[in-house]
Amino acid sequence: MGGGRYDGEVATEARSTNRDVFTYRGQVGASPTAQRSVHPELSPHGNIRECVNMTPIVVAMDVTRSRGDDSRVIYAKLPMFIGQIELRNYVPGPAISFAAVGDATAGDRAPLQVGQFEADNRLDAVLSKIWLEEGGGGSGQESYELAAYYYARQTKLAAHERGDKGFFFFLGDEGFYPTVKGAQIRQILGQEPPQGVVIGDHGQPFPFDEDLDSAKAFAELQEKFHTFLIFPQKSLAERRRDIDAEIKQRVEAAGGRYEGVDIRASLVWNNRNDLDLHVIAPSGEHIFYAHKRSACGGWLDVDMNVQGETSKPVENVQWTRGGAPAGRYRVFVQNYRFHEATGPTAFRVEVEINGAIQHFEGTIGAKGETGVASEITILEFDYDPAQRAPEDPRVLTTGPYANYADDVILRQWQTVLPPQNILKIEDPRAIVDVMLGVLAIVGGGVELGTFITDMAGTGQLDLRQDQAIHTLGPLASATRMGQAQVDGDLQVSGARPGSRLTRL
């Protein structure tokens, strides 16, 4: 809610050891078999976050597998972040709410975690309660839109009531889902308003939609906050590893073999229905749930959701390296049983052949089909043990990998944010520098050159200063032009002005 003052010396002392502050693992209760979930103090379900301070700041961190370490960067640099805001007077009266974004659609147990707005050392306690679940669905999308909806509709800000805006930073490298699902609004946010309305800060009604276009959620968020995406850039090869890591993690966590194979087929989906992976070997043997090990060395070593036990299942058929016979193979998928409501189930299959990996995706059971009637052939291929084919470079820009391409992700974000508010960085360690720069330029009316001088004064390397100039340049130009229009004066001084901007 705000109040108090952050003691930098206490915070620095707490960081003087190598202790990992992120020790919460979603465990509730003493039993090791208890249901894992969001820490109760960070649950968004039915909760409103309030901020009485002059400048509310939200830092919404992607804690899925691809970006989980960003939270540690934020924790390490939090004393410097708050210290510089206060020392330079970039914005008055800051209070920070930390949020952690997962993947609600993929069935993460912690799809959204939200901390109260704090201004003192309770911020460290909030960070320590964040669960770095490292989930995600490998689709190139996370539930940023759910976070936008929550902070647009379930926060009460004194700044907004005065007509001012706070600052909102998404830290992530993926896209968002095109709609905020009504089921997620009810189940995760606990919003079930009477007579279909939600009352906002000024008493105005918001309509309650079964599903809401994500663009509307982001538009509402920007009524309360100057909103930015800090986007750590990656090569396509790095993004490919993010996708592969999700499948690898599921296979290995279930006790299956992922590496050291001649042939491997892995099936993943994100609900409790019982999909089945089938492979016909060159011998004619049918490897599936009723015949898991073949005489020719094939093995279905992971078979899941017989009882609908998980919303993040995987199945895996593999031949250990040196064991797969030559000949023709056929891989296909069937929908064995619905444990959830009937309807289409999206799935992905990864097939590795002699070290080359291919990806396939589709949906199954759209009309309620099960068994043979639902069968979808994934791939038929001829295997030669003596040949390890070179990888087709097109796999980096097709199939599920296409959703991870920078241009695809950035095009989507540009539909909901001004282009100058999308801040690309090369080094994740620059996240805090960029956030400070935004607060200085937009909140404090500081010229970019003055901010770079401030960075130099804290001992930042020339390379980091150059990165800040490159990242913040378009934002600084847009802000300067906007202020010139407000002032009616195109000659903007390089000196730090006395008043801060409240609109971008």
456 lies in a domain?
A: no
Same-domain status, 271 and 253: yes
pLDDT in tens, 291-305: 999 999 999 999 999
Say which CATH number the domain at 362 has. 2.60.60
Same-domain status, 228 and 248: no
Same-domain status, 43 and 83: yes
95 lies in a domain?
A: yes
For 124, the 3-state DSSP assignment is: helix
279 lies in a domain?
A: yes
Alpha carbons within 13 A on the beta-carbon side of 358: 14
452 lies in a domain?
A: no
Contact 133, 101 (CB under 8 A): no
pTM, entire model: 0.70
Nearest to 82 by CA among 423, 430, 435: 435
For range 412-425, the mean pLDDT: 96
- Parent domain of 37: 8-233+407-426
d(CA 65, CA 353): 25
455 lies in a domain?
A: no
Same-domain status, 130 and 268: no
Say which CATH number the domain at 117 has. 3.40.50.410
What pLDDT is stored for residue 418 in this prediction? 96
Same-domain status, 166 and 56: yes
Q: Which of 339, 364, 391 is the last residue of a domain?
A: 391
Same-domain status, 64 and 130: yes
Number of domains in the chain: 2
pLDDT in tens, 131-169: 988 766 556 789 999 999 999 999 999 999 999 999 999
Same-domain status, 37 and 58: yes
pLDDT in tens, 433-487: 999 999 999 999 999 999 999 999 888 888 889 889 999 999 999 998 876 665 6
Is the confidence at residue 205, as pLDDT, over 70?
no
Around Cβ 186, how many Cβ atoms within 10 Å? 15
* Nearest-10 crossing angle of helices 462-487, 431-438: 20
Nearest to 162 by CA among 222, 205, 91, 224: 224
Q: Which of 248-262, 268-282, 349-363, 383-397 has the lowest mean pLDDT?
A: 383-397
